Structure 1
């Protein structure tokens, strides 16, 4: 499933409902946060959402506030969750147009078993290409259920060949 195949409104409703009805996981928070952030940060996606009447410009302008609330709520429900911490750093970095400003933080995460997202950050933000680690991340993602996070990351890893 690639980004263009996602029904944005249905995805937002699903993640929101799971969170609202306390039937959530950290992935519901991550997916909703990432989706809101990507819509508000990517002008092309924002324009698509407005043109297709998925969201109004006013709704999109409120996403940044909603993202902060979601992060706060997620950290209350899932304290010390490494993946939530990763996405907070990643989104903050990209939102401020900082390139590779959290490289040292990512290196602290790298030594943890089966946590490949720091390699994604280093690839996207720092241009550091660790093929073997990115292959492992891609293999893991391809086994996961479809989600916005999965599609988002895989869109960056399209050129990484798995042999």
Structure 2
């Protein structure tokens, strides 16, 4: 009987750890989504306003997504007392894979939705496509972040600096 109880305790602990990793993955992906969305919206909106073609528009959006994504990690880590170089290292380790996956999916979405990149800032197609692409990118990125967290990587490295 003790073996049976022990098995359930292990199963329960394992289930709890897996649930915690999924919760952390959703939280990490929401964090990533925030930085990516700020960068994407600002980049694509500015590029559309300026009349840029697709290539430069996407480059600007990606660069700004990485800038804002990393910034959202760097500032709290700096406030926790880490020097800038170390904080940058934490942000790179925590966010690079997540932001990259999110940006690939988001920008592919914008490119494959007919007319999305040609739509103007006042067009529902532009904003609807951007939101849809970000939602799809979020759904795809959550399991990526969960896999990273399960291995002690990705956003798991930031948790040592949260107070």
Could you say which TM-score interval applies, normalised by the shorter chain? under 0.3
What is the TM-score when the length of structure 2 is the normalising length?
A: 0.25
Greater relative contact order (Cα 8 A, min sep 6): structure 1 or 2? 2
Determine which structure has more spread, i.e. the larger CA radius of gyration. Answer: 2
Q: Quick check: which one's helix share is greater?
A: 2
What is the TM-score when the length of structure 1 is the normalising length?
A: 0.25
